[in-house]
Structure 1
Amino acid sequence: MDFETIKLDCDGGVARLTFNRPERRNAFIVRMHEEIHLALDAALADPATRLLTITGAGSAFCAGQDLAERDAGAAEIDLGANIEQYYNPLITRLVSLPVPYLCAMNGVAAGAGVGIALAADLCIARRSARFVQAFSTIGLVPDAGSSWHLPRSVGMARAMGFTLLGEPLSADLAADWGMIWRAVDDDQFDTEVHRIEQQLATGPTRGLVLAKQALRAATSQPLASQLEMERDGQRAAGRTQDYREGVTAFKEKRQAGFIGR
């Protein structure tokens, strides 16, 4: 399948989706949203897919919305329609994927690009990368789920400062705050991304998905409900072939050969 604004490469259980508008710092346009959903449909239709990685081409990860696509001088403009039609379905889909989602943040993430990174199950960034919550500089509010994810990952005070002041945040500080999993030296970034991809794509996929679902649910439900979810998740995981293989491999003191089922 050929795309204009993204690339999709599937190999070894990894579906790697690359934002491919480097001349516009991988900023979103309508066609890019449409092609991302087509790519996700194609990748997830393949039973061999056990991990989604999202990264960017060139020096940026994603600069958010391409403002050149909008007419800010129009008498009537409904930005909420764009959010409802494109960004909200994308974030909803990313956080509920049936496989783990790794964000390999190769460069700056701004605006909605921050939301795409925060929606990941695991995000690692080049040490030179930066986060920019750019909405305050153009009179808008955070979107792409960042107003939900930020306070939960870094706390309200830091979320407020980052959002209202619009100051860039380094990858190192983002890692220290708990926004991302890890900041990696630029010359080691590709190697580390590949290592994590291999670990996740050969892991017990069903168990990993049940685990991430439980962790996400924990931010919005009481302990009693969470305990019930853990019980149900453990019951489902215990019925997988990967669980049986994991226990057998442990007893036999060998590396487990998980198949994702």
Structure 2
Amino acid sequence: MSGFQIGKDILSYVAVGDSFTEGLDDPYPDSADFPSGRYRGWADRFAEHLARHVGELRYANLAVRGKLLRQILTEQLPRAVELSPDLVTLCAGGNDILRPGSDPDALADAFESGVRRLRDTGADVVVFTGFDTGFQPVMKHLRGKVATYNMHLRAIADRHGCAVVDLWSMKIFQDRRAWSADRLHLSAEGHRRLALRVCEVLGVPAEGDWDEPWPQLPPSPWRQARQEDLRWAREHLVPWIGRRLTGRSSGDGLAPKRPHLEPLVRR
């Protein structure tokens, strides 16, 4: 990235994407400042780190859970371009990859069109590869498709001068404590660590080590592990499949949590 720098009097940052960037499952505590049901996530956490090193950080988060790549490009990208920020984080395509018949080559072509539009505004752009799904039995079969998409994303980043946050190489995400109960979204600790990794990629000082080893846990008994798998399938997998079959999305009717560039209060 050529132009991004901290220490400015005013810096603007826009986050674009789906549930990953909206912040599921990292809820803010109930309070007057953070209404129940609003998620924090790595993007908010990264913005908090960034705000400590600029005179004023103006931050918008346009991400909405469940959105496909084409929806992000048509619903969020025009708004991001209109805001003309200094920095944009873009993660999109994960929900498409989960769907049978999706083509990572075609997805990459569409993704590049979005990157090009953002870079034409003069914004620095950060892109994210997909996670390595090899450790998740239910999604292990998607590993080749994710890897193909990742190679495209890296090439796109090279062509357009974007920074890359390589989620595939982050082995800490192969621990179940990095994930929430639905096994699709990061836990609060997963989001915290990812925010630190984004800081590292962009050269933003932050306390903490995203790659700190997880404390040792005793192995779960076989019966307990199978019971947890059954509970997960009943409470999370079956509803997810139901939404896919009926064409519904978890984000239907939802608006972005931070649609405007607004000053972020330092904490």
With structure 1 as the length reference, what TM-score do the two structures score? Answer: 0.30
**Relative contact order higher in (CA < 8 Å, ≥ 6 apart):** 2
Higher radius of gyration, 1 or 2: 1
Higher share in helix: 1
State TM-score, norm by structure 2.
0.30
